[in-house]
Chain A
């Protein structure tokens, strides 16, 4: 129990530092997720149009996804040095797979009959995309974004190895300085934040599904 009291004391004393670090961590993830959406959704739409392209792109982003995070960060240091930018790039590369794949799958699962009915009513290509395909695949795309975001929130703790701050810094410093209070405070905070984020996005997901009336 002693350690929890230490952690609580650390938390009370270093509140500002902890929340500032959590804020950095969060912003890193938000930026990474935004970039992932900006790149991933259009790519997912594009590759849903051709089977050939789909295989190549899904294969490529799948490879990024399987590279161990430390290996990727190490590689990025050799070409980009240390700092926030390579950390951001790493998170973007990891986040692409769920978003690209879900966008593509989401668009492909829109029923042919629905698309044909819309075509028969006279939608043009853009209207087909924005009025039919995207709204109907939105829940699937959103689920991909949710996966990417929550995963990136965990992965961002590694950003400390590339000098990009975030909650990893609190944890690593706690380990190095044998400061168990600091270590535990950092761990609990990052766990609570990750779970809360997942819940929040999950709640939004549910709202989205309701809005698009796909669940009761």
Chain B
């Protein structure tokens, strides 16, 4: 699967006087991908982020945004085309929320009507009531201000978002909420996001790929599962021992669903010969494809009918958002070896088994 490269760094250095704070960093980010940069403080992650929109100019190497070298672009135009969210939010206190959201549109002198419509649309996108538009930033809580910060970054509909510890200054509950909202939002907006954090769980949760930095160098880059399986001592130390479960808590069971298990609608006939695929049980669904239970192959007679009351009814199916960690816990404590999973509409999607979860651990390394 090849996707267009949105941002690319080639051997980028940043030198202050004698200190090399970013040292030969190279990576590329595909369109629509979320890349998280993480590392101890002073590792150069924020500097790396700020070089992408040239708030900090790089000393050596090349930075390409949509294939163009940033040093050949007008820095003002470049920044207007990239959304920027920082930890301290930096809303302008003398402007209303609406004027803050529209700041970039106002800089580029877009029509007033368009600005108003866009602000209204965005305030709803980030989950704040529309009457907040007329308020001043001071009247909002930290979490609400950061929502406005996100709305502001999205105003000009940039393809790329740079986020520098955006949720670092809010309380843990708000942080989790903002993370969830960002992920939900990302499903529809599909921006290319570079996200800097020092919170490993946040990185696992948000990042498609995670880059770990140390003393200006990018020491590891990969998906959360790849990092968990890394042999590098620094990486293992940095992400910590409990990391595997943190990662499994961020991956939904939809990644390991088995859909090959045979199903039958209640009251219908079943063709034992061709459809068993080596399974010994058949799942039974109702007329709307919601999960009802299962039936053993022995309880299906030659005509393909379920004999009598043979259907084993079990508890409702689990939602698709269930994390693999939760699924494993559910199976361990509930004494089960598999769980049925259904979508929001209660339509059966598949089952998750111990084996399929374990398969992820070995398989992920290479994918």
Chain A residues engaging chain B, CB cutoff 8 angstroms: 111, 113-124, 127, 131-132, 135-136, 211-214
Contact = CB atoms under 8 A, between A and B. Distances in A.
Interface centre among B80, B81, B149 (most CB of A within 10 A): B80
Question: A-side binding surface: helix, strand, loop or mixed?
Answer: helix
A122 B77 contact: yes
B107 interface: yes
Contact of A127 (B81, B84, B90, B107): B107
B94 interface: yes
Interface residues of B, number: 26
A136 B77 contact: no
A122 B107 contact: yes
A162 B83 CA distance: 61
20 contacts: A111-B88, A113-B86, A113-B88, A114-B92, A115-B90, A117-B89, A118-B103, A120-B53, A120-B55, A121-B103, A121-B104, A121-B107, A122-B81, A123-B76, A124-B76, A127-B107, A131-B107, A135-B94, A136-B92, A214-B94
Nearest to A124: B76
Contacts of A111: 88, 90
B152 A116 contact: no
Nearest to A212: B94
A136 B107 contact: no
Interface string B83-115: 010101111111000000001100100000000
Contacts of A120: 53, 55, 79, 82, 84, 86, 162
Nearest to B153: A121
A118 B90 contact: yes
Contacts of B132: none
A114 B93 CA distance: 9
Nearest to B155: A121
Contact of A122 (B79, B93, B94): B79
B338 interface: no
A135 to B, nearest CB: 5
Contacts of B107: 121-123, 127, 131
A20 B149 CA distance: 56
Nearest to A132: B92
B136 interface: yes
